[in-house]
Amino acid sequence: RHPSLDHAQREDVRVLGNDLTYVFLPHHAQVARHVAEIGRLPLWDTAGFAGRPMVGNPQGGLFYPPVWLVWWSRSPAALGWLTVGHLIWAGLGVYVLLRSLSAGRFASTVAAGSFQASPYLLAHTFEGRYPHVWVTCWYPWAFWAFGQYRRGRPRGTLLLAPMLALMFLCGHLQEWYYLVFALSAWAVVDAFRALRARRGHAALVALAVWAGILALSLGLVAIELMPDLATQGWTLRGGRLTLSRVSRYQLHPLNLFQLLGPAALGGPDSYFGPDNYWETIPSIGLIPLVLVAVAVMRHPDRSVVRSWIALVVISVIFAAGRRLGLFTLLFELVPGMNRFRVPSRSLFLANLGAAVLAGLGVEALERFSDAREDWRLLERRVRRVAVVVVVGLVLGQSFAWGSKPRPLLSGPRSAAGVMSATASGIRRPKAVPASRIPCVDRAAKIAELTGGQFRGILAASRLFQSGMFWFALTVTLATLAFGRWSQGGRRVAAQALGAFALLELGLHGLVLLKVAPAEQFLGADPISGALARVEPPVAGPFRIRARDILYHDLRASWNGFEKVNINDSFQIQHAADLYKTLYPLLYVLPPSDPDEPMGEAIARFRRDVRQGVLDRLGVAFLVSDHVEPEPAWPLVASGTWQRSRFVIHRNPTALPRAYVVPRALAADDDISGVLSLFARTDPRAAVLMERDPFGPGAARQPFTPAEWASSDPDRPVIRVTTVAPGLLVVADTWMPGWTAHVDGRPAPIFRGNHAQRVVPLPDPGRHEIVLRYHAPGLARGMALTGLSAVVWTAAWVATRSKKRLHPGRPLRHHTHFRRSRSESRASRAGSTPVRHHVKGLLT
């Protein structure tokens, strides 16, 4: 098994793949297909949960311009190449940032490579979390532009607004939010320092400019923001997390071993540390860590170093979650912080800070290439720390040889209690054989099933046996020793250490670079072939319910089948109320307790409710890995695929996507009452609504299937012939923004069956019903975005005649050190360099 197949979640028997194949590729492949078919951006998403808004989904990423190239190409590999382009862009940004800090070209190159190839960033890249990576790749440019703002340079300041806007539009807000919070805190600290220096006017103006930048950036993203806000009232309740629910994906003491080597706690296929490999890896590489220490100890510009150290330390403390208190404090006090459940993603900021410090470490070594005493002191300190580390690893290895792991645990952490994830994110126990536990390394499996104290011993043992660790440690000590004793080779030694840092990170990335063949996720397969051959119980579009581990979202979407269950947390509340009843479906559940008087009646009631939901959602087939006794649908196909058995059941009572029923049965909006009526009401006789739009009446149209005549997700067209008044039921999710026209005339559209659309048809005849979706807030958002773009353009043009956006001196002046050409020549001749002071950019 390869790392790219993601067996890093220790408690899950997961579908083959990663977040790219689970979420992002199915989503963008569907958008690309709709754009090709209808020639415009789709506003409504038909995939999963009977439909949901496409515009209004915070993770949709529809308005991020670079992703439009992916839709145009329609190539599954385009998302990966787009991410490669972002990583190159990030490296260029770090280079520009370091050059603005007066660092040399080689030091800037080392910093750029250290960020591009940082283990945490690569972990998210190979886990397929592309939008997270896209946002992060804008971080260096945002810090560079923020520095321009702090120096009062208007054009660089104005560039910050569209940069923040593009980050917002990438499709994952957490990284954008953390960056905006960090920069805002920096601006407030600057203003406080200015107030202490009795420069109150400059502080107030600078804060006003920063507020203007944020407001302008939000105006530029209003086309995305306004629909998102309009949709929030209809999405799953509980979008704001409680602190008690944020208990995972945070740094633990055991993660400190990864500072010495990213594989100290195992790789993606054998991880035995807390949480999972992808989210909690604080490693920046051993040699870059040494370079960071050099910058901390020896870089001459202490103000710059202290500021980047503060960014790294605060980000790491925040990533520790509830353990160190900072995350808890901000979670309770800062608006919006309770929207995000993974505190460890502040490590993106820590990685950028560490990369900058690594580059400054190279710069410090180059600047002190003629100071033998400084080199001697540095080499001695590093050697002493190395001795302590090696002794600790030797002791850990000796304990590993002599230790016997405790007996296997029982309960939910044992092999029999491995958890299986449902579409709701709620984990339910499911017995699985030990061979299915996603840990393939024997030592890692021992650590997984034994006591926590053995994990530290195993981590030390892995480091002791790691060739990468010994390579990094050896070349570091050898290079520093060479610089200590070589009078003319210290500059070469400094550059060699930087080059070795890039080599170490490159080798680690090469280990991760394992891929699975595309045919495992795309193309023809026996299940899709069987579904295409089997006669569906209804005409027109239908849905399927399938086990994800057998038939995942990408495979279904690529072959044109609509799963009612998909791997996505963005759901509409009233639709999720119905789908929640289907969570236990396709899992072997224990029989009802014979000693429980109502056990069998409760089980039968639940089966009736599930059948009613499946019928009304238009679920025509179940795809499972075992014959389903409940519901007892006919078995229409079976076979073997990838050494797993599959069976397909057909639902004989499934309803078509659109149909006419005679009347409405009064029901309130309480989901428990609705589900109770589902169990005992014939869906062909009535639709559940607050009231019947026609009132009590005589003759009504009997149940009549309607013709689905359009594939446009925003403008479905339905045709049906009636001889009496009736109610057209569309088995798609109702949302504000949907309108209906019957034979060209506007018609009301109601919510029925708790979550579906209902259109009254009062007149007999042949009808054509056209439904249209107008995303709430989109028109206002487009207008505000256009106005903000005009304001930004006008401000950009106006800066041609102005030198500064705010009067007076910059908010702060800083001292940096830059080596002039004469200094370089003097250094190569063996003379002592002269320090020159220049204005700085960032502290």
Per residue in 82-98, pLDDT (tens digit) is 999 999 999 999 999 99
Q: What is d(CA 427, CA 350) in angstroms, rounded to the nearest whole number?
A: 31
Average pLDDT over residues 435-443: 39
Burial class, 695, CB count within 10 angstroms (exposed 0-12 / middle 13-18 / buried 19+): exposed
Dihedral pair phi/psi, residue 174, rounded to 5°: -60, -45
Calculate the alpha carbon distances from 483 to 108, 293, 473, 477, 691 in Å: 21, 17, 16, 10, 86
Q: Do both 419 and 326 map to the same domain?
A: no
Look up residue 172 and give its amino acid: H
Residue at 228 is within a domain: yes
**What's the confidence (pLDDT) of residue 798?**
87
Q: Positive or negative, the Cα torsion across 272, 274, 276, 277?
A: negative
Q: Residue 39 pLDDT more than 60?
A: yes
In the structure, what pLDDT confidence band is assigned to residue 318 with cuts at 50, 70 and 90?
Answer: very high
488: CB partners within 8 A, 6+ apart: 830
Does the pLDDT of residue 432 top 70, yes or no?
Answer: no
As a whole number, mean pLDDT of residues 571-592 equals 78
Length of the chain counted residue by residue: 843
Report percent pLDDT > 90 for the chain.
Answer: 55
225, 313: one domain: no
Residue 451, amino acid: G
The C-alpha atoms of residue 15 and residue 301 are separated, in whole angstroms, by 50
Question: Are the CB atoms for 356 and 111 separated by under 8 Å?
Answer: yes
| Rounded-to-integer distance, Cα 344 and Cα 320, Å | 7
Q: Which residue has the higher pLDDT, 169 or 424?
A: 169
**pLDDT score recorded for residue 630:** 80
Q: Mean pLDDT across the stretch 11-36?
A: 81
Q: Would you state the structure tokens that stand for residue 26, as one six-digit string?
A: 């199915």
- pLDDT-derived band of residue 5, with 50, 70 and 90 as boundaries? very low
Between 517 and 819, whose confidence is greater? 517
- Alpha carbon of 49 to those of 227, 544, 579, 707, 755: distances in Å? 20, 11, 7, 22, 10
Of 62-71, 572-581, 678-687, 825-834, the range with the lowest mean pLDDT is 825-834
Same domain, 221 and 284: no
CB atoms under 10 Å from CB of 447, counted, come to 26
The answer to whether 730 and 658 have CB atoms below 8 angstroms apart is yes
- Phi, psi (deg, nearest 5) at residue 670: -70, 125
Q: Does residue 417 share a domain with residue 342?
A: no
- Mean pLDDT throughout 529-543? 93
Q: Which residues contact 61 (CB under 8 A, 6 or more apart)?
A: 28, 67, 131, 169, 170, 171
Whether the Cβ atoms of residue 52 and residue 572 lie closer than 8 Å to each other: yes
pLDDT-based confidence at residue 590 (cuts at 50, 70, 90) = low
Averaged pLDDT score across all residues of the chain: 84
- The tens digit of pLDDT for each residue in 719-732 reads 999 999 999 999 99
764 CB-side CA count, 13 A: 6
Q: How far, CA to CA in Å, does 646 sit from each of 520, 621, 622? A: 16, 13, 10
Examine the pLDDT at 774 and tell me if it is beyond 60.
yes
Judged by average pLDDT, the poorest of 55-64, 245-254, 441-450, 795-804 is: 441-450
Average pLDDT value for residue range 739-763: 95
Residue 453: predicted pLDDT = 63
* Euclidean distance between the first and the last CA atom of the chain, given in angstroms as a whole number: 45
Is 50 exceeded by the pLDDT of residue 303?
A: yes
Please state, in angstroms and rounded to a whole number, the distance separating the CA atoms of residues 59 and 135: 12
Dist CA 818 CA 104 (whole Å): 8
Neighbours of 697 (CB within 10 A): 12
For the stretch 4-23, what's the b/e string if a residue is b when 16 or more beta carbons lie within 10 angstroms of its beta carbon?
bbbbbbbbbbbbebbbbbbb
Three-point CA angle 478, 480, 485, nearest 5°: 95
pLDDT band at 450 (very low <50, low <70, confident <90, very high): very low
Question: Is the Cβ–Cβ distance between 46 and 718 less than 8 Å?
Answer: no
Mind listing the pLDDT tens digit for each residue in 130-156? 999 999 999 999 999 999 998 888 888
Stretch 755-783: mean pLDDT, rounded? 96
- In this prediction, residue 3 carries a pLDDT of 30
pLDDT grade for 49, boundaries at 50, 70 and 90:
confident
Find out whether 703 and 774 touch, Cβ atoms under 8 Å: no
SS3 content of the chain, % helix, strand, coil (to 5): 50, 10, 35
pLDDT at 15: 64
Q: Which two three-digit tokens encode residue 222?
A: 């209003």
Residue 119 forms part of a structural domain: yes
Is residue 340 located within the same domain as residue 415?
no
Structural domains of the chain, count? 3
**Mean pLDDT on 68-85:** 92
Q: Is 97 exposed, middle or buried (0-12, 13-18, 19+ CB in 10 A)?
A: buried
User: Tokens 């503060």 sit at which residue?
Assistant: 310
One-character DSSP codes across 461-518: HHHHT-HHHHHHHHHHHHHHHHHHH-SS-HHHHHHHHHHHHHHHHHHHHHHH-----G
Q: Which of 369, 362, 366 is nearest to 498 (CA)?
A: 362
DSSP letter string, 210-278: HHHHHHHHHHHTHHHHHHHHHHHTTB-TT-SPPGGG--SS---GGGGGGGT-TTTT--TTS--SSS-TT
Of residues 360, 351, 355, 376, the one with CA closest to residue 288: 355
Burial of residue 520, with CB atoms counted within 10 A of its CB: 0-12 exposed, 13-18 middle, 19 or more buried: middle
Kindly state whether residues 99 and 166 are assigned to the same domain.
Answer: yes
**Does residue 689 lie within any of the structural domains?**
no
In a domain, 515, yes or no: no
DSSP letter assigned to residue 56: T
Pair of tokens at residue 492:
């070469």
Do 257 and 310 belong to one domain?
Answer: yes
Q: Which of 488, 505, 535 corresponds to the end of one domain?
A: 488
The answer to whether position 93 is within a domain reads yes
Question: Alpha-carbon dihedral of residues 150, 155, 161, 166, nearest 10 degrees?
Answer: -120
Supply the pTM of this predicted model.
Answer: 0.86
Q: What is the DSSP letter of 621?
A: E
Answer yes or no: is 767 within a domain.
no
CA nearest neighbour of 248 among 491, 8, 586, 570: 8
Q: Give residue 821's pLDDT band: very low, low, confident or very high (50, 70, 90).
A: very low
Mean pLDDT for 671-690 is 92
Q: Which domain holds residue 383?
A: 238-368+370-401+463-488
Asked whether residue 287 falls in the same domain as residue 386, the answer is yes
Helix axes 78-100, 105-116, angle to 10 degrees: 140
pLDDT band at 419 (very low <50, low <70, confident <90, very high): very low
Q: What is the pLDDT of residues 255-277, one digit of tens each?
A: 999 999 999 998 887 888 888 88
| 247 and 340 inside one domain | yes
Listing DSSP states for 279-331 in one string gives T------HHHHHHHHHHHHH-S-HHHHHHHHHHHHHHHHHHTGGGTSHHHHHH
Q: Look at residue 302 and tell me if it is in a domain.
A: yes
Task: Encode 787-811: b = buried (16+ Cβ within 10 Å), e = exposed.
Answer: ebeebbeebeeebeeeeebbeeebb
**Mean pLDDT in residue range 763-772:** 95
At residue 240, the pLDDT reads 63
Give the pLDDT band (50/70/90) at residue 750. Answer: very high
**DSSP secondary structure of 92-140:** HHHHHHHHHTT--HHHHHHHHHHHHT-HHHHHHHHTT-HHHHHHHTTHH
Quote the pLDDT of residue 309: 96
Q: Judge if 153 and 208 occupy the same domain.
A: yes
| 152 lies in some domain | yes
Q: What angle do CA 233, 235, 236 make, to 5 degrees?
A: 120
In a shared domain, residues 305 and 160:
no
Q: Do residues 566 and 423 make contact, with C-beta atoms less than 8 angstroms apart?
A: yes
Average pLDDT over residues 624-650: 89
Same domain, 176 and 243: no
User: Count of H helices and E strands in the chain?
Assistant: 28, 23
Work out the pLDDT band at 824, boundaries 50, 70, 90: very low
Q: Which H or E run contains 755?
A: none
pLDDT band at 403; cut points 50, 70, 90 = low
Task: Look at residue 843 and tell me whether its pLDDT is greater than 70.
Answer: no
Residue 367 pLDDT: 82
